[in-house]
Amino acid sequence: MRVAFPYMGNIRFAVGAIMRTLGAEVVVPGPPNRTVLEVGARLSPELMCIPFKLTLGNMVRALDMGADTLVYAGGSWSCRFGYFGRLQAMILRRLGYRFRVLEVRRDQLPVVFREALGLADGRLSRALLRGGRALRLAWYKSRAVDAAEALAREAAPFAAEPGEPYRMLNRVLALVDKTETPAGLKQVHRDLRQTFGRIPRNGRTWVPRVKLVGESFCVVEPFVNFNVIRKLGEMGVFADPFLTAHRWVGFHGLRLWRDELKNVRRASASYWRYCVGGEDQNSLGHLILAARKGYDGVVHVHPFGCMPSAVAQPTMAKACRDFDIPLLSLSLDEHSSETGVMTRLEAFVSLLHRRQMLKERTAAAAR
Amino acid sequence: MRIAPAELCLPVKAFLGHVRSLVGEVDALFLPRIVCRRARKELLFGCPKALALPDLVRALFPSLPQVVELNLDERLESEARAFGRAAKTLGCGPAAGRRAYQRARTSYRQLAPDGMMACSPSLAWTAVVAPGHGRPVRIRVVGHPYVLYDRTLSLGLLDKLGQIGAEPAVVHGAGGWPADAARPEFLPNWVHEVPLIHGALNPAGREPYDGVLLASSFACGTSAVTNEIIRHAVGARWPSLPILTLMLDEHTAEAGLLTRIESFVELIRLRGRR
């Protein structure tokens, strides 16, 4: 079985580890690029969102590389995300590709289990052992990646050489990719602080702190958001995403951190009654919690045409007015340009610095 | 249009304009929220935009009269209990709320015995097909009733089809799939989309049709999925059946709309489907 799954940021470390340990051969089509996006956009219904278009382009590439099984997360609820797998399969089969689809959704779990059993030659004990090993390895890989990403984000605004933290991150990710034992990954994790601590600093004492919220794919996949976290870091801003690849797998795959979820939903309850999808409630809740913690601004990234994001935008704007925190909203599709995004980010960062300056002047005058 | 974010669909923009005209004129606003309905063993969800309308209204309008929300979520409680809660917001006791709900159900059943989505379009609109064009070209029109039957939002699409000698048929269906129907690849679990797919693909008991017209609002996310399912199923079952997709938004011009539907109907006539 040669499996491929949608490319979304660094989830490939955890998901790839699970598939390989269960016995499948994993086809990773490589990070997305302009060509992949154009192929996906051409084959997709025009008003589907950019996560659909980009992952469709990736799946075409994976099938061309020899994948015979496509794995998707799915479900049936208000947002379209749950139907991505079925819709993409319909489009790809119409193009003439032959493959199987494995959808990880509630009513398909017996099918997924049977496939895992098939990979273990029908032996239940072998399947269960592999399953346990798969989850354990995936967890340590994902945790190490998450810790490295966090350290790169923290170091970026303070680095003397702006690109160095992310070059360091790439080296660490390559090491995590090669390391196939939990013990090895624990060692990589332990060494991270020392690794990133060696990056020379620029002497800054204060940097603006910005919370990044929005639809999960746009927050987690750097190609779609034009590497907004890295760009803000290189502009001297600490950008803190509410969601990372590891947290996405934890929240949605393994249903972890339920207390945090309750807390976030309680924070957003007076503004947003129901979760409609697209991380609407979570984004709003994290925005409010960030405002309460004294963050200096919020950047909201979402796909053009994303139904939950479109309808949540006025509510986010209201919450930002109520909490007096600046909001930059970026709507992303295949026509978005890096220059346009950079212009907006630069103006936003300039606004944050100005607000800080006015705050300091007011405080000095009060003294 | 001025109030709403640009990415919202036409019906929601119209809704917000309507709310604006009512604020200051009324004592209370009734805002329903269709979250989830049970259809036999399936759960059908509302569109994400419709699901969040009360929250959207609260965000966009700084001062509102009393908002009476009706949250229909049949995963949590029955329709009757949901109506009871809404009645309580209006200050009605449980008995009065129950009586009002029963009267509403009786009126609804008299108007639409098989449910609103399956009721005859003639309740909302009467087809007038202009004479002098020979046998009318029968077009199966697929779109949400709240757009199609609104002459402003749809720019009188159904009337225009009649004027050019086409007979539009708006069909919302339910139930199974007879042998002569086109089968969809899958059915999304959306309350407003399942009847559209049934109606588009299921000709059983009805006159055969000559073409399909998919009329959607720009930025309607559910239509992007529904229309693709319909196109795929129609293409597989009736490969030579023409399909036209129309996008409706606040910028749509009547002339452009008329040009497209005239060309479509003319194409069908030329292909000898008269």
Each residue's pLDDT tens digit, A267-306: 999 898 887 776 888 999 999 999 999 999 999 999 998 9
pLDDT single digits (tens) B188-240: 999 889 888 988 887 654 557 889 999 999 989 899 999 999 999 999 888 88
pLDDT at A343: 96
Average pLDDT estimate for A163-183: 94
Q: Which of B52, B219, B223 shows the shortest C-beta gap to A274?
A: B52
Say which residue, A87 or B52, is predicted with more confidence.
A87
* Termini Cα distance of chain B: 41
Question: Which of B 17-76 lie inside 8 A of A, CB atoms?
Answer: 33, 35, 43, 45-49, 51-52, 54-56, 58-60, 71, 73
Are β-strands A297-303 and A209-214 bridged in parallel, bridged antiparallel, or unpaired?
parallel
Three-state DSSP at A327 gives strand
* Termini Cα distance of chain A: 70
Structure-block tokens of residue A31 = 């990070």
Three-state DSSP at B259 gives helix
Average pLDDT estimate for A169-197: 94
* Cα gap B226→A170, rounded to integer Å: 41
pLDDT at B205: 47
Q: Find chain B residues with C-beta within 8 A of A314's C-beta.
A: 4-5, 56, 59-60
pLDDT at A119: 84
CA distance B1 to chain A (A): 14
Q: What's chain A's Rg over C-alpha atoms?
A: 21
Q: What percent of chain B has pLDDT over 90?
A: 34
Distances (CA, A) of A187 to A149, A180, A183, A194, B47: 16, 12, 6, 12, 48
On whether the CB atoms of residues B147 and B248 are closer than 8 A, the answer is yes
Mean pLDDT, chain B, whole residue set: 85
- Say if the Cβ atoms of B228 and A277 lie within 8 Å: no
Average pLDDT estimate for A133-140: 92
* Cα gap B111→B123, rounded to integer Å: 9
Worst-scoring range by mean pLDDT, A87-91, A248-252, A350-354, B259-263?
A: A248-252
Q: Find chain B residues with C-beta within 8 A of A46's C-beta.
A: 224
pLDDT > 90? residue A168: yes
B51: nearest Cα among A69, A276, A334, A169? A276
On whether the CB atoms of residues A29 and A4 are closer than 8 A, the answer is yes
Distances (CA, A) of B185 to B73, B230, B232: 27, 9, 8
* Cα gap A198→A64, rounded to integer Å: 42
To the question of pTM greater than 0.90 for the whole model, the response is yes
Structure-block tokens of residue B30 = 């009734």
Residue of A56, A307, A322, A336 to mutate, testing the B interface (most B Cβ within 10 Å of its Cβ): A307
Average pLDDT estimate for A52-68: 96
Write the CB contacts of A223 (distance below 8 Å, at least 6 apart in sequence): A31, A32, A33, A37, A54
DSSP letter at A254 equals S
How many other C-beta atoms are found inside a 10 Å radius of the C-beta of residue A98?
Answer: 8
DSSP letter at A323 equals T
* Cα gap A313→A142, rounded to integer Å: 31
pLDDT > 80? residue A48: yes
DSSP letter at A346 equals H
Type of residue found at B110: Q
- pLDDT bracket for residue B274 (50, 70, 90): very low
pLDDT single digits (tens) B120-136: 566 566 666 667 667 78
* Cα gap B110→B105, rounded to integer Å: 9
CA distance A45 to chain B (A): 6
Q: Find chain A residues with C-beta within 8 A of B52's C-beta.
A: 272-274, 276, 280, 308, 311-312, 315
Distances (CA, A) of A62 to A31, A55, A81, A354, B45: 11, 10, 20, 47, 33
A105: nearest Cα among B177, B230, B186, B52? B186
Average pLDDT estimate for A233-239: 96
For chain A, what is the total number of helices (H) and then of strands (E)?
15, 8
Q: In the block, which residue shows the tokens 């704007």? A: A317
Type of residue found at A255: R
A317: nearest Cα among A338, A291, A355? A291
Average pLDDT estimate for A172-192: 94
